[in-house]
């Protein structure tokens, strides 16, 4: 994989260990993983980095994932960046699917296996 085809993934997540884990899993497959430690930082990085994919945690203290998602979708320059929602709460999945405004590309529930993460990322990246 040469530099021009390296896909940039931005992981917006308030747990540094989770960012490290995701970086470990995805960098082995040749992805370039950037981490943002919260929603406010995440939205800034979406604009500066223009990633190929965003992994978005829903539960964050400063600005929750839905707010980040809505800001991305409201902005023409970031609207088309695919988003995989990462949620720790399985009961939120119904809410995720029920929200018609949320055209998320995929979601994964924590705890997830490395394989689940890879499958989701590769599926979404291949569709865009």
pLDDT value for 110: 86
User: What is the block-wise mean pLDDT of the chain (128 residues), using blocks of 10 residues?
Assistant: 77 95 96 97 97 93 89 96 83 55 77 94 94
The residue ranges of every structural domain in the chain are: 3-127
Q: What is the pLDDT of residue 9?
A: 98
Q: Mind spelling out the 3-state secondary structure of the chain?
A: CCHHHCCEEEEECCCHHHHHHHHHHHHCCCCEEEEECCHHHHHHHHHHHCCCEEEEECCCCCCCHHHHHHHHHHCCCCCCCCEEEEECCCCHHHHHHHCCCCCCCEEEECCCCHHHHHHHHHHHHHHC
Q: What per-residue confidence (pLDDT) applies to 11?
A: 98
pLDDT value, residue 66: 87
CATH code for the structural domain at 3-127? 3.40.50.2300
């Amino acid at each position: 994989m040469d530099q021009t085809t390296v896909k940039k993934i931005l992981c917006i997540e308030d747990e540094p260990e989770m960012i490290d884990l995701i970086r470990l899993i995805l960098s082995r497959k040749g992805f370039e993983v950037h981490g943002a430690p919260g929603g406010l930082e995440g939205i800034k990085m979406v604009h500066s980095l223009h990633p190929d994919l965003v992994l978005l945690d829903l539960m964050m203290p400063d600005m929750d994932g839905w707010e980040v998602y809505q800001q991305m979708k409201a902005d023409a320059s970031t609207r088309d960046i695919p988003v995989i929602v990462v949620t720790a709460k399985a009961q939120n999945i119904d809410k995720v699917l029920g929200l018609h405004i949320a055209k998320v590309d995929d979601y994964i529930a924590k705890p997830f296996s490395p394989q689940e993460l890879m499958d989701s990322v590769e599926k979404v990246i291949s569709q865009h």
